[in-house]
Amino acid sequence: MKTILMFPYAHHLGGTQPLIAIGEGLRAAGHRVVFAGRGRCLSFVEAAGFDAEDLIELDSCRAVAHFNRSNLDYHTPESVAAFVDAECALIGRFAPDAVVDLHRPTLGLSARLTRTPRAVLCNTVLTRYYRGERLLPESHPLAAWARPLPQRWLRPLSHWAERQLFRAWARPYNAVLRARGQAPIDSLQDLFEGDATILMDARELMPVDGLPAHVHAVGPLLHESAAARPAAIGAAAGRRTLFVYLGSYGEQFTRVVGYLAHLFGGRDDYRVIAATGGLYGYAGAPLPGNVVVTDYVPASAVLADGCAAMVTHGGRGSIYSALGHGVPLIGLPNQGEQEWNLAAIERLGLGRRLSTRRDGYAAFAEAVTAVIDDAGYRERAARFARLLAGYDGAATAARVVASL
């Protein structure tokens, strides 16, 4: 039996559920799994029966402010040092055989300092192995003047800016490494890798090539917490459903639910189910009876029951949940990773991407109508669901972690 320490980003579901999925596989194989973190989503860890240790974490408001500018400069040398001290102390207390994290870059330093094998769960689009297009995201401050450039200029500028930004974002980590007698890293992307790097995507959506032996493209990593279907959502009963989940912060939630209420409110042939994950609320005008806001709902309960489309922020978990049920998408991204995810969705004809900064009700209504009325979107999503059925991401990732 091995001891595995898991480090989720427990302020949101997408940073927590994939680790629960792996943890369940490791536990079933007889290993001891302990989680460490801080945030609202640790309740899902505890509900799954895992022990959870409290551990220093980023202030969620500060972090999301950086994420939504597509900046990864949320750490200072002082905060990196504090995180490393706390992580090393925890590692010293548990003496784990391996540590696993989802984009907790400070753990790369702690694993090096304690000589502990580390597995990193990573969204493919953020790695150096991604072979799709990553244009400068609309959410980045540089985009205001760069995005209007012709594509032949924007592409090389985006590639250059990406390299410079990842190098600049490594500075606070290098300050701590140098202070502790360690060699610096070249890029923050170096900390998105470990002794095992686990890419949580389908190659058909996020193309990669030339993967070294320590990088494993395991496919989607999804976990659905056991929860009763809320009575308020009922069954589709022949109606077409629009399912809304906009991530763990829900910046666009009230606006989007209001748009859908205006578009479908009072119609007998449609219903709207909007889920908050229990992490925020709806603050708009009273809603018609066929538009229901609920907290946590098992996504499959809605996606598998007459779901015509899912409205999403473009997070990895939401995308694969929908596509796994053959449901096309309408996306409103808040930050760069989500923009790139949805660009891939649009490129494959699996849905439409909107701009949260430029598009209002008219563009939203047009995109939703196009996706639900054009059978091609659903046919392509159904074909993609068959591709996804060939992956077993959680079991594959658990084997990778256990082998460290």
Looking at residue 225, the DSSP 8-state letter turns out to be -
Q: Which residues pair with 291 in a beta bridge?
A: 272
Q: What is the pTM of this model?
A: 0.92
pLDDT band of residue 189 (cuts 50, 70, 90) is very high
Instruction: Report the interhelical angle of 361-373 vs 253-264 (nearest 10°).
Output: 60
Token pair for residue 275? 């889920």
For 327-332, which contacts have Cβ atoms below 8 Å and span 24 or more sequence positions?
327/243, 327/303, 327/378, 327/381, 328/371, 328/377, 328/378, 328/380, 328/381, 329/371, 330/354, 330/364, 330/367, 330/368, 330/371, 332/246, 332/252, 332/256, 332/356, 332/359, 332/364
In the chain, DSSP finds a helix count (H) and a strand count (E) of 15, 13
Closest Cα to residue 199, out of 109, 119, 105?
119
Q: What's the pLDDT score for residue 105? A: 96
Looking at residue 189, the DSSP 8-state letter turns out to be G
Give start and end residues of each alpha helix (H) in 305-392: 316-324, 336-347, 361-373, 375-388
Q: Which carries the bigger pLDDT value, residue 234 or residue 134? A: 134
Sign of CA dihedral 306, 309, 312, 315: positive
For 184-187, which contacts have Cβ atoms below 8 Å and span 24 or more sequence positions?
187/163
Q: What's the pLDDT score for residue 290? A: 92
- Reported as type and span, the H/E element at residue 40 is none
Q: Which carries the bigger pLDDT value, residue 139 or residue 203? A: 203
| CB-CB contact of 199 with 217 (8 Å) | yes
Q: What's the pLDDT score for residue 358? A: 86
Question: Computed over its alpha carbons, how large is the radius of gyration of the chain?
Answer: 21
Q: Percent of the chain, pLDDT > 90?
A: 72
pLDDT band of residue 149 (cuts 50, 70, 90) is confident
Token pair for residue 219? 């496919």
215 φ, ψ (degrees, to nearest 5):
-105, 125
pLDDT band of residue 231 (cuts 50, 70, 90) is low
Given a cut of 70, whether residue 256 has pLDDT beyond it is yes
pLDDT band of residue 64 (cuts 50, 70, 90) is confident
The whole-number average pLDDT for the span 311-335 is 95
pLDDT band of residue 28 (cuts 50, 70, 90) is very high
Token pair for residue 217? 């493209």
Closest Cα to residue 8, out of 216, 264, 223, 293?
223
| 41/11 Cα distance (integer angstroms) | 6
Between strands 240-245 and 3-7, the pairing is unpaired
The whole-number average pLDDT for the span 295-316 is 91
Q: What's the pLDDT score for residue 228? A: 62
Residue 280, CA atoms < 13 Å, CB-side half-sphere = 17
pLDDT tens digits, residue range 365-401? 999 999 999 999 999 999 999 999 999 999 999 999 9
CA distances from 178 to 145, 172, 185, 292, 343 (A): 36, 10, 10, 54, 39
pLDDT tens digits, residue range 333-362? 988 899 999 999 999 999 999 998 888 999
- Reported as type and span, the H/E element at residue 163 is helix 151-169
Q: What's the pLDDT score for residue 278? A: 77
Closest Cα to residue 233, out of 277, 186, 275?
275
The whole-number average pLDDT for the span 199-227 is 92
Q: Which carries the bigger pLDDT value, residue 81 or residue 237? A: 81
Closest Cα to residue 279, out of 247, 323, 312, 309?
247
Q: What's the pLDDT score for residue 359? A: 85
Residues 6 or more apart whose CB falls under 8 angstroms from that of 397 comprise: 21, 22, 25, 119, 121, 198, 200, 216, 218, 221
Average pLDDT over the chain reads 92
pLDDT tens digits, residue range 94-144? 999 999 999 899 999 999 999 999 999 999 999 999 998 888 888 888 777
| CB-CB contact of 353 with 329 (8 Å) | no
Q: Percent of the chain, pLDDT > 70?
A: 99
